[in-house]
Amino acid sequence: MTTTRDLLIVAMEAGSGAPVEQGDLSLALAGAEVIDLLSARAVTLDGDRLVPGHQPEPADQLLGGAAASLVREAPYETVGDWLWRRGRGLSAAYQAALEAEGQLVRQPRRGISFRAGQLVLVDSPARSRAADRLAADEPVLVSLVEAMGVRGERTEDSPDVTDDAVAAVLAAVNAAVVELASVRQRKAVENAAFDNIWRGAAG
């Protein structure tokens, strides 16, 4: 398993309480992919730019797709640009992959329904491993989880990441999630203003 998959499992566990925003999750998953690719030496970081290395053939098909989609011409792509480009719809892609592998199953709905049931995690070694990493306060996984707001904001007690490249990726994830929250808030204000105008005109 990869950090990316462990992150999705942890997010889905948390989703049974306060649901995780899919946009936040997709950005965090894209960041986790970079961290997995750094670990596999498939990419290095030059400042804030992703410089491709050798292209591995990982067992994880989605991570292989991530490696193949790296920009391979200078000046290369910034981490921030990667998060927004690669992150689009990424949570759905990983959920589909886990469902195809039997890691996620559709919970049947009661009564007659034409809609598919909710996706739930099955008991598996992968689920246990992700839970163990989180319980052990593994720094990278905890930092990604905190970026999504699953365990609250980062505090002085949060575990530190010692690898500079990984820390830079995590900082970019945090910045992207904050930017996305600002976009949501701006749209909410605009929608509320439009509703008020509509009500006034209708009244």
Mean pLDDT of 5-10: 92
Containing H/E element for 3? helix 3-14
Q: How many domains does the chain have?
A: 1
Greatest pairwise CA separation for the chain in angstroms: 65
Q: Which pLDDT tens digit goes with each residue over 84-106?
A: 999 999 999 999 999 898 888 87
pLDDT at 149: 80
34, 43 Cβ separation under 8 angstroms: yes
Q: List Cα–Cα distances, 32 to 48, 111, 116, 141, 175, in angstroms.
A: 16, 39, 29, 8, 15
The two three-digit tokens of residue 17, written as one number: 């309480």
CA atoms of 61 and 107, how far apart (whole Å): 26
- Please state the pTM of the whole predicted model: 0.84
144, 176 Cβ separation under 8 angstroms: no
pLDDT of residue 187 exceeding 90, the answer is: no
Domain of 114, in residue numbers = 3-202
Mean pLDDT of 146-163: 74
Instruction: Give the range among 12-16, 95-99, 125-129 with minimum mean pLDDT.
Output: 12-16
3-state secondary structure of 120: strand
* CA distance from start to end of the chain: 58
Strands (E) across the chain are located at 43-46, 49-52, 77-78, 104-106, 119-121
Q: Which pLDDT tens digit goes with each residue over 31-80?
A: 999 999 999 999 999 999 999 998 766 668 899 999 999 999 999 999 99
CA atoms of 123 and 126, how far apart (whole Å): 8
